[in-house]
Amino acid sequence: MAALSDLLPAAAIRLDVPVPDWRAAIRTAGGLLVEAGATTAAYTAEMVANVAENGPYIVIAPGFALAHARPSPAVLRTALSWVRPAAPVDFGHETNDPVHLVVALAARDQSAHTAALAALARLLADPGTARALREAPDAEALRTVLAGPDAGCQRADAAEARPVHTILTVCGNGLGTSLFLKTTLERVLDRWGWTRHVTVEATDALSARGRASEAVAVLTSREIAGMLGEIGIPVAAVEDFTSPREVDRVLRDLYDV
């Protein structure tokens, strides 16, 4: 699987860019993907439409937005771009605005980028590393932080026993923000020693409705939770997808621990 350094070249990073609003921030990030030969301009429009239609669920942590859309013919190869607005931008998220960092993801399929996003989620979960990413003076300094010791780390395989429960992490497209939440939830389950009992699967909102009978719970954003409605299992909203503390609390509520 591709690492962060493979998917985010220095040329796809722009720092301290003047952008008047969230649409301009996403268009800037999308333009970098186009310049890198990863997408066509149509994908940028799809990322903007995703937020316009589904709300600001892509703002998955305080100050951080992961812009993306579904895999489409407009995606030529899997890649990331990174934009730091000159001034924080409001996306309309109730708790995580304003946004200081916008990362755009273009994915050709459901798997090539998973390791890179898991690594990024771990880096953002560390307050010191998150601050270093926000304050990096240039693209090379940013890439140095991203190449830190945790960037290549992957979760060890769970014990061989078959998991008893499945928890779904859900976003609009099943390939971006849900993977961030999956990574954080797996870290909490590792700490609890529950990885042999619970498996976590990232999916999209439409699939989650059809798969509800296979799972014990859904973790997702407030916006997607409202979209799912009543599906026969608990649906828990998480505000900060990179916060083990918040996910730990949600998990304790689900299991009455």
155-184 tens-digit pLDDT: 444 344 556 799 999 987 766 889 889 999
CA 221 – CA 134 distance, rounded (Å): 23
Task: Determine if residue 243 is left, alpha or beta; phi over 0 gives left, psi from -120 to 50 gives alpha, anything else beta.
Answer: beta
Q: In whole angstroms, how far apart are CA 166 and each of 72, 102, 179, 189, 199?
A: 28, 31, 15, 12, 5
* 31 in Cβ contact with 12 (< 8 Å): no
Catalytic residue positions, numbered: 68
Q: Contact 22/89 with Cβ under 8 angstroms?
A: yes
Coil/strand/helix, residue 205: helix
Q: How many CB atoms lie within 10 A of CB 158?
A: 17
Instruction: Tell whether pTM > 0.85.
Output: no
Q: Tens digit of pLDDT per residue, the chain (257 long)? A: 566 777 888 899 999 999 999 999 999 999 999 999 999 999 999 999 999 999 999 999 999 999 999 888 999 998 999 999 999 999 999 999 999 999 999 988 766 567 777 888 888 888 888 889 889 999 989 988 888 655 544 444 434 455 679 999 998 776 688 988 999 999 999 999 998 889 999 998 889 989 999 999 999 999 999 989 899 999 999 999 999 999 999 999 988 87
Distance separating the N- and C-terminal Cα atoms of the chain: 35
The residue length of the chain stands at 257
Q: What's the token pair of residue 71?
A: 């895999």
pLDDT digits (tens, 9 = 90+) for 6-40: 788 889 999 999 999 999 999 999 999 999 999 99
How many degrees, rounded to 5, is the angle at CA 89 between CA 86 and CA 94? 155
